[in-house]
Structure 1
Amino acid sequence: MSQAKKVLDIRLRLTGEVRTRFLEIKRAKGLTNSTEVLRLIINEYFEKHLAKEAQ
């Protein structure tokens, strides 16, 4: 399967506490794009919790 077909589109609505936390992360990291925030969260979680298992 080509890389173009390996795309995961995500549309996400955040409300309440989760929205607040997301925006705090966005501000703290100095990011302006919400997509970059989500990528950051995924990568940081992976490195902290799953990277050792993936090796």
Structure 2
Amino acid sequence: MTEKKQVLDVQIILKGREKDRFLKIKRFVGLSDVEALRLMINEYFEKKLAGEEAQDKPCKR
């Protein structure tokens, strides 16, 4: 049996400063909207959340 990939369909509307920042990042790295959003999500996760997850897990000895 094959496992279906779960999909999260997202539609966002950016205005003002957030729109300008998103477009600037997108142009700077030369990515599509989806690729730029993935990059930002992964960067945020690695910088902010990955450390918290590591602290929550008990150490194996």
Residues 1-55 of structure 1: CA deviation (Å, up to 9, x unaligned): x433x21100111111110000011011121x10111100000001111112333
- Larger relative contact order (CA 8 Å, sep ≥ 6): 1
The aligned residue for residue 3 of structure 1 is 4
Could you tell me which runs of 5 or more consecutive residues in structure 2 were left unpaired when the two chains were aligned.
55-61
Q: Provide the identity percentage.
A: 52
**Highest CA radius of gyration, 1 or 2?**
2
The aligned residue for residue 49 of structure 1 is 48
How many positions carry a matched residue from both structures? 52
RMSD: 1.3
Counterpart mapping for 1:11-50 below 5 A = 11-31=11-31, 33-50=32-49
Could you tell me which runs of 5 or more consecutive residues in structure 1 were left unpaired when the two chains were aligned.
none
The structure with the greater share of residues assigned to helix is 1
Greater than 6 Å deviation, 4+ residue runs: none
Q: Calculate the TM-score normalised by the size of structure 1.
A: 0.80
